[in-house]
Structures are given as structure tokens and as C-alpha cells.
Structure 1
Amino acid sequence: MKFKFTWPMGIIIALVSFMIFISTFLYLSFTPKYSHNLTSEDYYKDELNYQQEIDLEERGNSLKENVSIKKVEKGLLISFPSEFEPSKISGTISFKRLSNEKIDFTKPIKLKTNKLLISDDILVEGRWDVNINWNVNEVSYLYKEKLIY
């Protein structure tokens, strides 16, 4: 017996293939393989403070020398402006990893010199969002950088 392929059979095969594709797509989109989290739990509250962040960043950019981040052999070297006395600089450094919030961390800024080393041990290769909130003489500054480590 010879099988004859007709156009109604082609339509049926196309519809069944499409239904299998859609079913597979729906199944894969609802499995917890990927985590679809917001970058912040207080996303909408953060947006209200966004203009303040812009002002703090502009204040930092108006300095003669802003914060800089450089990769060195032992980790990341963060340099603060030399125009300020290191003991008067305070604040926090936040490292956020969008792909895995479990490895996010925040460090306080305590300086003896104008440089701070973030050790290689706590950094994982990949993309990091670095936010440095720092204060000198009750004046606040903000430095943001997205870097690939």
C-alpha cells in the first residue's frame, strides 16, 4: 500500500506541529528554570528617589577627580579623590549581580589611604553593578559603574 500525501494531510500536520510548539513553549515558560526577579524589591519606591541619585552623581562628576575602579592582580582597586582626607570619607560600596542576588554584597568604606581593595576571593567572574555611596564632611556623592570582572 502506497501512502499518498494530500493537501488536507499537510494542513493537519502543520496544525499539529504548531500545537506541539505552543504547548512546549508554554511548558518551558512556566518551569522555574529561570528566575524573573526585579532588580530591587522596592522598585517603585526607588524610582521616586531617582532625581536625588542623579544629583549625587552629578556632584561626584563635578569634582576634579572622581572615584575610579581598576582591576588589579588581587581584585578591584577603588581609588577615591586625593583632594579629600581618607579618614573623613565614609559610606558603603554595593556590588550587585543581576543574574544571582545571593552573591550580592555591601561593604562599609573605612579608609587609611585613598585606595580600597576588594579582594578577588569574594568576586565572581561576570557582570557587576557597583554603587558607591560616599560622604565627606556631610556632603554626599554617588558613583555607579557597570563592570565585567
Structure 2
Amino acid sequence: MKYSTKLSDALHILAFLSMGAGQRITSAKIAESVKTNPAYIRQLMAALKSAGIITSSQGQANAELTRQPGEITVLDVYRAIEGNKPLLHWDIDTNPECGVGIYVQLSIADFYQEIQRAAEQKMQTITLQDIIDRYGKKLDELEQKSK
């Protein structure tokens, strides 16, 4: 089963735009960093633009953040990219004539909703700036190891 990397890729795009502010950044350049195609990047950027997280003009390499990185949360980006899609999915195609088939899945769904709420609360506390700062720390650690 394939899982979505849209949130991760969207955060990558935003970090790339933030760290390259003032430079000419094309979807092709971002796609090279994400290791994907420019059309996919443009699709994610369109969703980010619709959510008011970035501004951009079609055919122009001038996308930029509408807010400071410390004001953009992971939850903002998640909702822009995934909408109200849950993180976890329970199996709705079980045998309706089997008590276990019905009630175990409903029980799982209750727990998944709790997990969703907890994850969203945590995502609300993590900003793009936190991700950029962690990136910087990881680079510093790598440099220290290579010395």
C-alpha cells in the first residue's frame, strides 16, 4: 500500500522557499531537491497558495511565504494539503454479519480519532521555523562528525 508523502513534500517546499528567499526558485529546482517532477511540485504549491500560505504567479519563479516561518504550523500545511483526511484509516469493508468484524473496527475507529486529535494538537505546536532550526542543527552535527 502506498502512503502519502504530500505533507512532507509540502514542508520541504516551504523550507526551500524560506531558505532561498530573494532567489529565483523554480518548481524544477524544488523538484530536483524533492526528487520528483515539477508538475507535482506545482500541484502542491497550488494547494499552499489556495490556503494562503504562499503567493505565486503562474509561470513565474517568484513564490514566497505569506507569513514568517514561525507563524506557519505543520497543522496549517497538513490541512492545506490533505484537507480533513485522517492520518489513520480503519477498514470499513469487513463482514457486517460478524460481530467482531463490525465492533472491532468501530473500536479501532474510536482510538484512531483520539490519535488524530492528539496528532493535530502536536502539529499545531510545530512551526516551519522549528523544522528549519532542526535542519540547521542536523547540519551542524554532521559538520562536527566530519571533523
Give the structure-1-normalised TM-score.
0.26
Q: Which has the higher contact order (CA 8 A, sep 6+)?
A: 2
**Alignment TM-score, normalising by the size of structure 2:** 0.26
Q: Which has the higher helix share?
A: 2
The structure with the greater share of residues assigned to strand is 1
Q: Which one has the largest radius of gyration?
A: 1
